[in-house]
Each structure stands twice: as C-alpha cells, then as structure tokens.
Amino acid sequence: MSIISVKNVNKFFGDGVQVLKDVSFEVEQGEVLGIIGPSGSGKSTLLRSIAQLVKIDSGTITICSQQLVKDGVYADKKTQREIALNLGFVFQNFNLFPHYSVLKNIMDPQVTVLGVPNEEAEETAVHLIQRMGLSGKENNYPCELSGGQQQRVSIARALALKPKVLLFDEPTSALDPELTGEILEIIRGLAKSKMTMIVVTHEMAFARDTSDKILFLDAGHVVEYGDPKELINNPKNVRMQEFLKRFNNR
C-alpha cells in the first residue's frame, strides 16, 4: 500500500500560470522517489504541496492513509496537523534558527511540536548529532558551521520528529561541490535503513543509483516516471534526452 498518493494534482499561481499539470504518482513505504527536471519545472512546488507549504487547486493527495485534500477540498485543520506530523522537510537553505545552538535547533521542535520533555529531547538530539558526525558541535551556532554541517543539522532536526516520510528540496544546491558528497552519503544511509523519502535533486548519478523510482517533471507535466537506471541510462523520451544531454555537458 502506498504511503503517499498524488492524483491529478493541478496548481496555478496568482498570475494564472499553471505550475503543476495533472501530476500523479505513488510512493510505497521504504521507497525513495527521486524528482528531477529543469529549473522552473514545478519540482519544489510539488514537494511543498505535499508538505502543506503550498495549496493545490485541484486533485487528491493522500498521506499515510489520510486524505490531505480530495478533489481540491482540504481536510479539516486537525487532520492537516496530524498528517503534517508524518512528514519531515529538509530545505535547500537549511532554515535553521540562527540564534539557537545546534543542540537547541534539534531539541526545540521536539518540545514545541511533540511535547517531548526536555531531558528526552536532549537525549534524542545528542544521539542524532553523533549520527550526523557532528559530535563536539552541540553548542555551536549555525554561523559557525560549514554549509554541509548546517545541512546535517537540518537533517537531524527533521529526523528528531520521527517522521514516516522525509522530503528533501534540493538538499545540496546551496553547498560547495566538495561538501555535496557528505550530504548525499547521509541520504544514501537513510535509504539503506528503508526511510521513505522524496528527494528533489540535480544530482543525476545519485538519483539513478539511490532512488527506487524517478519522476521527470517538465513544465509542470510528468514526462517520465519509473525505473531510475532505465530512464537515466537509456532515456527514450526526446525531452528527457535533451535534459540529460545538457546536464551532462555542464
């Protein structure tokens, strides 16, 4: 049974531009879905619509057997909050609190969102800090960390809420190339542990080798959806061939 189901989703922005056009896909528990495509194709908008950061105009989104929106009509606020607790979101620009230490950035959501006692929240935070290879950085502030370290804190913060699904919005796009590998390695580790994930990425080799399925989005349309190795190594769709050729020539 799918843990996320997106059916016939459409989204218009205020100027009448349609950014998502009848988008449909499913993600099974333990799967990794890689979303690829050119800039402006609607990738981040699609991810944010699942995370309730963007409202869709029509279509149905079901998450963990609960309908967030059915035929364009959203569930009540209580159901929306329940669904949100199943999702963790990792932003491309980290979105850490600059005035909080690493420890407090990871503790705070547990206490304020889940009502976890401070002692338990700290224990979880310390464990995740160690897991992310950040031991000794507990009392540092985001400005004292490299981009890669900040993104690891962001991932730890998302994991601290024990989500059933992790959503990554181009998690390496704000990083120097030499720091990209360490973040991708963490995501690979999560994939091996069977964490359900949707990853918007420009890292084609990573999408091919780590994803169970990929979705190629172009101008709001799902152009291709299926086996990563087949679609990336031997693309049959002309538009995807063009995209991969341009990407490989960069």
Asked if residue 153 belongs to a domain, the reply is no
Residue 25, pLDDT score: 97
Domain with residue 41: its CATH number is 3.40.50.300
Instruction: Check if the beta carbon of residue 81 is closer than 8 Å to that of residue 21.
Output: no
**Banded pLDDT at 247 (limits 50, 70, 90):** low
The pLDDT value recorded for residue 153 is 95
Mean pLDDT of the chain, nearest integer? 93
- The whole-model pTM stands at 0.94
- Domain assignment of residue 237, yes or no: yes
What is the number of domains present in the chain? 1
Q: How much is the pLDDT for 152?
A: 94
Give 173's pLDDT tier (boundaries 50, 70, 90). confident
- Count of other CB atoms within 10 angstroms of residue 164: 15
> What domain range is 65 assigned to?
2-96+164-246
How far apart are the C-alpha atoms of 102 and 156, rounded to whole Å?
Answer: 10
CA distance 221 to 235: 17
| Structure confidence by residue, pLDDT tens digits, 135-150 | 999 999 999 999 899 9
Is the distance from CB of 87 to CB of 71 less than 8 angstroms?
no
